[in-house]
């Protein structure tokens, strides 16, 4: 090519603009605006050249530590997130999937602000959507609803939503409180977060009055560990009845295992739960 033609070609290439990115504006993913990177997807970054002395293999650092006792205030959390309930004697754990956001709204908007226990919730949802879900539910509920963070201390009058992509477990601390532990362990029942993982973490917490609830959702996640809790003498077990479920899967599995004390339509769960916990 001539110099003039080459210059014109380069100019045309320089004027091409990359496409812009669409913002995520919904808490329920109908169509993802960009691919969600899973824990198995390698992320490649350009590293600065190192000297021979520095060029030593570095062991991989885990994204989040596995289940351990939380004995001190973890870094990165504001003081108000570390103020928990030292005399916590009760806890409610909830699992849901398809139809869950609406069911959680109906449930949490009927729970009073002085409720004497925290809610710990697993809603099957991918990363980046659970934070928006928590913020939206917070506008409807008398409770403080927030996305759970590593090391948060559970307190009465609050509800903690498991972040998408992480299992949520509850563990005792050396200060006599109960803390959130998030892990990147393998998906269970095809899910991360998994309801079974949350419920299983409650098995050793026998000093707590534990109330567990399964609401609308496909599959059987949560049913097996609800059965284990029931057999170990958990305080109460609830399941949403078929008449109000969007998908009667998870509750049905628990009912078939004969480990549900209360099977109720959605609008009746909150009043009965308040009565059971108080």
Distance separating alpha carbons of residues 112 and 274, to the nearest angstrom:
8
- 24 phi and psi angles, rounded to 5 deg: -80, 125
Distance separating alpha carbons of residues 260 and 213, to the nearest angstrom:
9
Distance separating alpha carbons of residues 230 and 234, to the nearest angstrom:
5
Residues known to be catalytic: 97, 124, 221
SS3 157: coil
How many CA within 13 A on the CB side of residue 222? Answer: 34
Q: Which residue has the tokens 């496909």?
A: 218
Could you give the angle at which helices 100-108 and 266-277 cross, rounded to 10 degrees? 50
SS3 38: coil
Distance separating alpha carbons of residues 271 and 278, to the nearest angstrom:
11
Question: Which residues share a beta bridge with 161?
Answer: 121, 147
Q: Which two three-digit tokens encode residue 79?
A: 């003081």
Residue pair 81/118 in contact (Cβ under 8 Å)? The answer is no
* Residues in the chain, total: 278
∠ Cα 96 100 106 (to 5°): 115
| Nearest partner of 168 among 214, 124, 227, judged by Cα | 124
Distance separating alpha carbons of residues 240 and 98, to the nearest angstrom:
13
Q: Which two three-digit tokens encode residue 20?
A: 């812009």
């Amino acid at each position: 090519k001539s110099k003039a033609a080459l210059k014109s070609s380069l100019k045309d290439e320089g004027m091409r603009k990359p496409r812009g990115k669409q913002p995520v504006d919904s808490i329920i993913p109908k169509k993802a605006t960009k691919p969600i990177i899973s824990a198995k997807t390698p992320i490649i970054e350009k590293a600065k050249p190192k000297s021979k002395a520095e060029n030593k293999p570095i062991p991989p650092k885990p994204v989040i530590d596995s289940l351990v006792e939380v004995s001190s205030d973890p870094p990165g959390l504001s003081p108000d997130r570390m103020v928990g309930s030292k005399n916590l004697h009760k806890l409610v754990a909830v699992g849901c999937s398809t139809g869950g956001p609406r069911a959680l709204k109906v449930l949490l908007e009927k729970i009073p602000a002085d409720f004497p226990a925290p809610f710990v919730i697993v809603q099957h949802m991918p990363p980046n959507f659970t934070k928006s879900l928590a913020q939206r539910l917070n506008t409807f509920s008398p409770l403080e609803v927030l996305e759970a963070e590593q090391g948060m201390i559970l307190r009465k009058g609050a509800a903690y939503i498991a972040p998408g992509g992480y299992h949520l477990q509850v563990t005792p601390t050396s200060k006599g409180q109960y803390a959130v532990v998030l892990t990147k362990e393998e998906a269970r029942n095809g899910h991360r977060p998994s309801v079974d993982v949350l419920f299983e973490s409650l098995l050793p917490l026998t000093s707590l009055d534990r109330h567990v609830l399964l609401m609308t959702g496909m599959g059987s996640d949560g049913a097996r560990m609800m059965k284990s809790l029931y057999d170990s003498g958990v305080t109460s077990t609830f399941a949403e009845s078929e008449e109000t479920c969007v998908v009667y899967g998870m509750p049905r599995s628990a009912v078939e295992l004969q480990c549900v004390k209360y099977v109720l339509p959605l609008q009746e769960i909150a009043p009965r739960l308040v009565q059971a916990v108080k």
